[in-house]
Structures are given as structure tokens and as C-alpha cells.
A = this chain, B = another copy of it.
Amino acid sequence: MTELLSNHVAGRWQAGTGAGTALLDPVLGTELVRVDATGLDLAEAFAFARETGGAALRALSYKQRADLLAAVGQVLQAHRDTYYEIATANSGTVKNDSAVDIDGGLFTLAQYAKLGQGLGERRHLVDGDAARLGKDPLFQSQHVRVPTRGVALFINAFNFPSWGLWEKAAPALLSGVPVIVKPATAWLTQRMVKDVIDAGVLPPGSLSVICGSSKGLLDQLQPFDVVSFTGSAETAALIRSHPAITSRSVRVNIEADSLNSALLLPGAASDAVDLLVKEVAREMTVKSGQKCTAIRRVLVPQAQAAEIGAAITARLAKTTVGNPRNESVRMGALVSREQLQSVREGLQLLQSQAQVLHDGATHTLVDADPAVACCVGPTLLGLKDAAASDAASVVHAHEVFGPVATLVPYRDAEHAFALARRGEGSLVTSLYGSDAGALACAALELADSHGRVHIITPDVGALHTGHGNVMPQSLHGGPGRAGGGEELGGLRALNFYHRLAAIQASTAVLARLEPASAA
């Protein structure tokens, strides 16, 4: 029997009482560890986090909590090699792809540690200036933000066991709100939490991890708790329908499906075209396309579609796929047989409306058994013309969570914007061109339907941060199908974990709200 991973709740490590579910190596098919959360006293777990963890964190200033984040970062940094080993084994990712998750998490933690330093020794945030409530300036309204007196429950996705935890936990802990994480890919998340807990750098109750089923977790949520979910739209709808959300006003943040696009503006010069081709091929293959921000639709002028399809295909053909332990491999595995099956079914669905321009099935796997390994080559599909782009309902609605994208030809800029909006709300679109004015206008046109607009011009071709990379400085989330959530965006992320309140009082009382009075 493999190791049964323990859960950390109510301030202690507790094993589930069930047989456990095995986590497998997606390349070798071997069993790695088991997870189980059967028999945990969830009421105790949530109460301990809420009361013990919450009180301890709220007693600290933002600067002190920022120091905690820095200490967490140091602990993780010391065990970085182990995390890479776990990622290779349990996620089947090549080193560069593991880095997106592991180093991405560390970078985000470090950024929030730095932002928190700037907030200083206060324990509430001032929001805007005081506003007069009448002609007499003696009585005014001052808005403040104070940490919510509850727990933050994270129900996370399989594709980012490290970054997915820390991009949420950093702003939560900095806000003074304890965290309970229920990861999908439990091993790496559990190990990171274990290292942090064992190092004793966080107050008891600040950070809990539950490996295994999410059954019963939502039942524990109270009015001042918050829940942040990353995953499928179906599960998101179930979470939103739970009484905790419908009747107890528990705040919920959802990041779900997204049909992100890359858009080459009309009349772009060849250097802009080259940047699009490079970015699309890169985004399709990084983490085997298992990124919620990956490019799924490539919008290009109708007349250039054939040329661009050929250029992307040429790049994809060179991608070596297989066992990430082999140095020559550029793209590793999907996370599981279920995901492999889901990608195959999604491809079938897309092929009912689109043609195959490059077939991932033609890639020979390196050092991996096709009968066992969850590996698949990158596939580029294409729609034959602008009319087909309008008709291809599935291409705008069904996200295939793997190394798959579709070339979508458009007639003119307005048509391109309309097609991008057919995603009904996406996390990100990237724009390619060199006319700054046209790009700025396009960005504002698409800003209401996208949480992020990433613009790649030749002058930043070598230094832009990538279509799919989520930077802590920028909002992560998108409207509609993407779930309507708002994460990151620098200090904006703290809002989710704070409550806004207006304090109406005489200027003498408002003067006492400043840090000194909170000490």
C-alpha cells in the first residue's frame, strides 16, 4: 500500500478512516500516494480555523502578516527540488511546465509579501477620502475595509496544485483570513502545506488542507466565510446553488470555463504575425494546454488564415511529446486518463464543425507507452472561412482542456470583436498588431467581456509576460462563462477577504480611526 496523505485540520494532522483514493503517475500509470478525508470532524475543523486561526491573524498588522508570507516563501524555497519531483510524478509535466506552477506560486507569494509591507502597521484599510454629508464639514463619511470574520475555503483545480493555492492564500492570509484548501491534485498541495505547518511559521488554524472528497465542506460555511472555486462550470453551478450561498450570503468567487482568444488585428505587419504564431504554439503546448488561460481560438483575417495555419502547424510538428523525464521531451502528459478521454471526446465534438490542420495523434510518444501514458500531441483545427466562424457554435462554447486550438477566420475588425465575444465572457484575449491607437481601441472594445487584454506589439515581443501567464499585478478572472470572479490584481485581491463599511461620524471620531487607535 502507498502512503495515505494526512489532512491538517483543527490544528493537527488527521488521517481519513477510509481506504483512500490512489493518485497515479500519468505517464507510468503507477500508484503514488492515497488521499482520504473520511471521518474528519468538519465542524471542528471550520470552527478552529474561524476562531483560533482568524483571531490570531486579525491580531496582526498587515506588515506582520506580510512577514508571515515571506517566511512561508522561505520554507517553500528550501524544499523546491522535492516539489519538482512531485510535479513530474503526479502531474507529468516537464521542468518548464512545473516551474509555471511551482515558481509561479513562489513569485506570487513574494509579490504579496512586498505589497503587504507597504500597508504597514495598520489593521484596517482606508478606502478613499472622507466625504461631507452636508454643508457643515463636522459630520462626514469615511469608508474602511476590515477583514471578514470567517474562513476562506478554496476548492481548487488539478492543474495548479501550487500556484492555485498560493495565488489565493497570499491575499487571504495578508487580509487576516484563515485558509482551508481542498485541492484536486492533492499531493503537491498537501506537501507544501505540510512543510509550512511543520516549520511552524504560521499561527495555528491559519492554514488547513483537506485531501479527498469535498463532500460536506459547503455545509460548514457561515455568513462571514468566503469560498473560492476553480474548476468546471457544472460544479460552479452546484456551489452557487448551495444554501450557504443562496441563503447565508456567503461570498463566492468562481473561475470556470473560458474560450480565450488570440486576435491578429487587420493589416498587421509580418513581425506581428510572427509573434502571434509563436505565442499560439507556445500557449497550446505549455502544461499540455491545461491552463485556464490558454488560447483556444485564434482569430485571424480570412485572407491570412491559410498562411498562419501553416506556420503554427510547422511549429507544432516539432513538439516532442512524452515522458517528462526524457530531456528531449518538450511536452509531458495530461493529468489523468479521464482528462485524456475528455480531450479526445472534445476533439471529436470540435471536428463536427472544424477541419484538422495538424493532428496531435501523429506525434510518436517519446519514452512512454500509449496504452498507459496520458500523453497526446497538440492539435490545430481550422474553420474554412468567416461564414464558418459564425456557424461554429461548438468552437465558441466548448473548451477542450488540452493542447488544442482552432483557427477562426474573420471578415473585419467588428466581426473579430463579435467572434471574441461569442465566448460569452473569457479570462483573457491577446491582441497582435503594431498600430497603438487601433490596439487601444480594440482593448477597450473587448474589456467588458474579458478580465484581461494582453497586447503583444513588436516593441515588447521579447519582454511581454505571455498571453497565459497570470501576473499578480493584474486581475485574473472573467465575466459570464469564465465565472465572473476577480482574483489578484495587486491589492485589489484583498477586497474579497475584506468587508467594506461606511463610518459616518464627527471629524473628531473619524480622526481616531487612524492606525494609532487600532493599536
A241 interfacial contact with B, CB 8 Å: yes
- Known contacts A240-B240, A425-B223, A425-B224; decide if A144 and B502 are in contact (CB<8 Å): no
Q: How far is the CB of A20 from chain B (nearest CB, A)?
A: 32
Question: When the two chains form their complex, are residues A517 and B440 in contact, meaning their CB atoms are under 8 A apart?
Answer: yes
A451 contact set on B, CB distance < 8 A: 500-502
Q: How far is the CB of A395 from chain B (nearest CB, A)?
A: 18
A287 interfacial contact with B, CB 8 Å: no
Number of residues from A at the complex interface, CB < 8 A: 87
Smallest CB gap from A462: residue in B: B136
Question: When the two chains form their complex, are residues A473 and B508 in contact, meaning their CB atoms are under 8 A apart?
Answer: no
Kindly specify which of A85-93, A146-154, A307-315, A356-364 makes contact with the partner chain: A146-154
Question: When the two chains form their complex, are residues A502 and B452 in contact, meaning their CB atoms are under 8 A apart?
Answer: yes
Question: When the two chains form their complex, are residues B133 and A444 in contact, meaning their CB atoms are under 8 A apart?
Answer: no
A216 interfacial contact with B, CB 8 Å: no
A28 interfacial contact with B, CB 8 Å: no
Smallest CB gap from A510: residue in B: B440
Question: When the two chains form their complex, are residues A484 and B144 in contact, meaning their CB atoms are under 8 A apart?
Answer: no
Question: When the two chains form their complex, are residues B447 and A146 in contact, meaning their CB atoms are under 8 A apart?
Answer: yes
Question: When the two chains form their complex, are residues A500 and B517 in contact, meaning their CB atoms are under 8 A apart?
Answer: no
Question: When the two chains form their complex, are residues B148 and A448 in contact, meaning their CB atoms are under 8 A apart?
Answer: yes
A518 contact set on B, CB distance < 8 A: 441, 444
Q: How far is the CB of A66 from chain B (nearest CB, A)?
A: 18
Copies of chain A in the complex: 2
Question: When the two chains form their complex, are residues A453 and B503 in contact, meaning their CB atoms are under 8 A apart?
Answer: yes
Question: When the two chains form their complex, are residues A509 and B436 in contact, meaning their CB atoms are under 8 A apart?
Answer: yes
A454 interfacial contact with B, CB 8 Å: yes
A246 contact set on B, CB distance < 8 A: 236-237, 240-241
Question: What is the CA–CA distance of A123 and B453 in the complex, to the nearest angstrom?
Answer: 18
Option from B452, B471, B484, B500 in Cβ contact (under 8 Å) with A475? B500
Question: What is the CA–CA distance of A251 and B240 in the complex, to the nearest angstrom?
Answer: 12
A479 interfacial contact with B, CB 8 Å: yes
- CB contacts under 8 Å to B, within A111-156, are 123-124, 128, 131-134, 136, 138-139, 141, 143-144, 146-149
Chain A 485-519, CB-CB to B under 8 Å as 1, else 0, gives 01001101000000111111110111111000110
Most chain B beta carbons < 10 A, residue from A141, A224, A443: A443
- Known contacts A148-B479, A223-B481, A245-B240; decide if A448 and B509 are in contact (CB<8 Å): no
- Known contacts A502-B451, A504-B455; decide if A440 and B512 are in contact (CB<8 Å): yes
Question: When the two chains form their complex, are residues B425 and A249 in contact, meaning their CB atoms are under 8 A apart?
Answer: yes
**Could you list some 19 contacts between A and B, CB below 8 A?**
A133-B474, A141-B474, A148-B479, A149-B449, A223-B424, A223-B480, A224-B425, A233-B247, A237-B246, A249-B425, A436-B512, A443-B503, A443-B513, A444-B513, A452-B502, A452-B504, A455-B503, A465-B504, A475-B501
User: Which are the 9 A-B pairs with shortest beta-carbon distances?
Assistant: A223-B480, A440-B512, A474-B502, A249-B484, A455-B505, A447-B501, A240-B246, A131-B473, A237-B246
